[in-house]
Chain A
Amino acid sequence: MLESGGFDLDVATQALTKGQNVGFQYYDLGLIRPRIFGGSSSHWTGVCRPLDAIDFEHRDWVAHSGWPLSRAQLDPYYARAQPLCQLGPYDYDLTNWETLTTQALPFASRRLLTAFSQISPLTRFGQLYREEIGGASNIRVLLYGNLVEIETTPNAREVLRLHAACIGGRRFTIRARAYILAAGAIENARLLLASDRHSPAGLGNAYDVVGRYFGEHLTVSGAFFLASRDDPVTDLYKSQRQFGVNRYAYLVPSAETQQTERLLNMRTSLHGVAQLTALRWSGPGIQAADDLVEGLRRGEVPEDLPEHLWRAITDLDSISMYAYLTFLEPKKKIPAFLLTSHIEQAPNPESRVTLSDERDELGMRRAKLDWRFGDLEKHTFRRGMEILAEEVGRAGLGRVRVVPEGAHLEGPEFQHARGQFDRSQVPDHSGWPPPGVRGSYHHLGTTRMASDPRNGVVDANCRVHGVANLYVAGSSVFPTVGYTNPTLTIIALSLRLADHVKALLA
């Protein structure tokens, strides 16, 4: 095992990850991918759930969708991945988790469903498994060794050796029967592209796919749910420990809804908002002027509209006497929720990692990220919120407010939800992404899996097309990314790859 970092963060080593953002505004590449034993598990959030079955399927409304694997094929590996992440049983059937106090929202249709994630106790793989790995007779760990080139035979059909370098100048090579590249979606692509000794376009890049289809999970805090009942959102939707397992639930469009409405996959979490006044934003509101309505002028919307609305809908819906009983109570008792959506990014060949002309301390060209996404993500968010509004209204649960494009969430409690985008950078998608959109620190898809080498970098066994003994592990092999956090799938795929390589080498 060749590890770039050590057991603790090293500034000089970490600086090797610096790169350039040239697309939609993104995080500092030098800060978000820790080079440390245990990798990204040193700073993950522990949210785990397998991808849905539909995420593996070809969807005619999502270009380049479909895995050469099914969810059923990966299920046994998901089950093995659960305990490695210190999770509960491999059981994501909601009916086995509902209790009297943890009921799903009672929608009248199955357009929206409730799903949930299990939460790992932030398993730090580099710490938890350090002793086991260190004691294994068949594993040798080399720390502070940085892979700088994968050298192949002249016909690029087999890896001959790895070239590694240390900060400070020492260089060495490594030979093995099989090689597994596991450096994250940005570095995996960077290393393949940089290994151009016998492949001018980069290793495994005969069809110009390496580095393309960089994906993320779009996090959008752009809507509110104002409940007409006193407490419709049960503990199910809060991060809580249940049956010895940490979990929290959220709303998702059913597979049928995704197909009917031509949506990407997404989830929407509900976060309680203490003050009703928080349901405001600055920016465009009502845009109208008409003399027919006395007193209405452009932008004249009362600041306490949410409270008026809440009073009106509880009146009309006739759901409970709560509205009356609390009419004179402090406003903070009105149940309101910030809706935060995590949206699948569609595969986009123009969203890509390439090499910049700048070189790092070891002489490697740095990564250049051009992150892009388009109209399908926008449609998914907008239509997803409309469907949510329709279903909560239909069930008499309340109303939904969608933050207008160009508006800004106000108040310190939404500081975390503010986006980082400079809107001037997205001239092709006016109003999109809204200011609340940001990435989720999930780097996906740059060495995607496909049966046909024209469509992907690795095959169903994660082997680089055309190279006999080179494999890729990690989320860079995801052809599509669903809405769920990637770690559990990364581990399931890694277990499957390990089984495959062990069988080959036996």
Chain B
Amino acid sequence: MALTRRHFVLALLAAHASRIEPWFRIAAAWASSPAGRAPWAAHRLAGCLRETEAARVIGRAYLATAPAEAGVEALVTELTRPRQNQEAGPAGTAGLKEWLAQRSRDDFAAGRVVSVDGWLLSESEARLYALVALLPRSATHASQDGA
């Protein structure tokens, strides 16, 4: 598997894993994910939602307005892109879910809002739903990790 620049950056992040342990795991998993299989990072993010079918419907509607984002890798990159004033997400699903919710609230505060059939959603939640929409159902019905 060729090492893309993005994979290299993520692998680099993995090397500094002592402070950003969960992203190390995500990055490491992503960098090593074989093609054709739902990437581990996407799986972890999608696993934060219980209402995956609802998310899938909204995600498909979002992707209809933003087809350029219809890629798992791009969505994971955007969803995990480091931001100022937000610490790296914790390892557990509950913590990661709250981390995403905070990211969504920060989007609203900063005006990072998208319209999905008139619904004004945060960029992060729309991308999270889109990610779910792109994953096979089997990948979004995995068990929670004990968070």
Contact = CB atoms under 8 A, between A and B. Distances in A.
Interface of A: 108-109, 226, 285-290, 292-293, 295-296, 300-302, 304-305, 307-318, 323, 385-386, 389-391, 393-396, 399-404, 407
Among B48, B98, B105, B118, which residue has the most Cβ atoms of chain A within 10 A? Answer: B118
B12 interface: no
A386 B94 CA distance: 30
Among A287, A295, A390, which residue has the most Cβ atoms of chain B within 10 A? Answer: A390
B63 A293 contact: yes
Given A316-B49, A318-B101, 19 more contacts: A286-B61, A286-B65, A289-B64, A292-B67, A293-B70, A296-B64, A301-B117, A305-B58, A305-B61, A305-B117, A309-B58, A310-B54, A312-B51, A312-B125, A386-B111, A390-B109, A393-B113, A395-B105, A399-B119
A301 B120 contact: no
A316 B100 contact: yes
Interface string B75-111: 0000000000000000000000110110011011101
B65 A288 contact: yes
21 contacts: A108-B109, A286-B64, A286-B116, A286-B117, A288-B65, A289-B64, A290-B70, A293-B64, A293-B70, A296-B63, A296-B64, A301-B117, A302-B61, A308-B55, A309-B119, A311-B51, A316-B104, A317-B101, A318-B98, A391-B108, A394-B105
B128 A394 contact: no
Interface string B112-124: 0101111111100
B67 A290 contact: yes
Contacts of B60: 293, 295-296
A393 B118 contact: no
Nearest to B70: A292
Interface residues of B, number: 39
Given A108-B109, A316-B101, A318-B97, A290 B64 contact: yes
Given A313-B125, A390-B111, A305 B67 contact: no
Given A290-B63, A313-B125, A318-B98, A399 B109 contact: no
B41 interface: no
Contacts of A301: 61, 64, 117
Contacts of A290: 63-64, 67, 70
A226 B119 CA distance: 10
A395 B121 CA distance: 13
Given A316-B97, A318-B98, A390-B108, A285 B117 contact: yes
A393 B120 contact: yes
B51 to A, nearest CB: 4
Contacts of A109: 109
A390 B111 CA distance: 7
Contacts of A285: 117-118
Among A285, A292, A293, A296, which residue has the most Cβ atoms of chain B within 10 A? Answer: A293
Contacts of A316: 48-49, 97, 100-101, 104, 125, 128
A289 B53 CA distance: 22
B133 interface: yes
B113 A386 contact: yes
Contacts of B109: 108-109, 390, 394
Interface string B24-67: 00000000000000000000000011110111011011011101
B99 to A, nearest CB: 11
B98 A396 contact: no
A310 to B, nearest CB: 8
Nearest to A285: B117
Ranked nearest first, the 6 interchain pairs of A and B with the lowest CB-CB distance are: A290-B67, A389-B120, A393-B108, A311-B54, A288-B64, A394-B108
Among B55, B107, B117, which residue has the most Cβ atoms of chain A within 10 A? Answer: B117
Contact of A402 (B58, B70, B115): B115
Contacts of B107: 393
A389 B113 contact: yes
Contacts of A393: 104-105, 107-108, 113, 120-122
Contacts of A402: 115, 118, 120
Contacts of A292: 63, 67, 70
B23 interface: no
A404 B120 CA distance: 11
Contacts of B111: 386, 390
Nearest to A299: B64
Contact of B120 (A296, A305, A307, A399): A399
B52 to A, nearest CB: 9
Among B54, B55, B58, which residue has the most Cβ atoms of chain A within 10 A? Answer: B54
B54 A315 contact: yes
A277 to B, nearest CB: 15
Among B53, B97, B125, which residue has the most Cβ atoms of chain A within 10 A? Answer: B125
A396 B63 contact: no
B58 to A, nearest CB: 6
Nearest to B120: A389
B63 to A, nearest CB: 5
Contacts of A309: 54, 58, 119
A300 B54 CA distance: 16
Contacts of A390: 108-109, 111, 113, 120
Contact of B57 (A305, A313, A323, A404): A305
Given A315-B50, A402-B115, A293 B67 contact: yes
B58 A312 contact: yes
Among B70, B105, B115, B120, which residue has the most Cβ atoms of chain A within 10 A? Answer: B120
Contact of A302 (B57, B101, B125): B57
A286 B133 CA distance: 16
Given A286-B64, A316-B49, A308 B97 contact: no
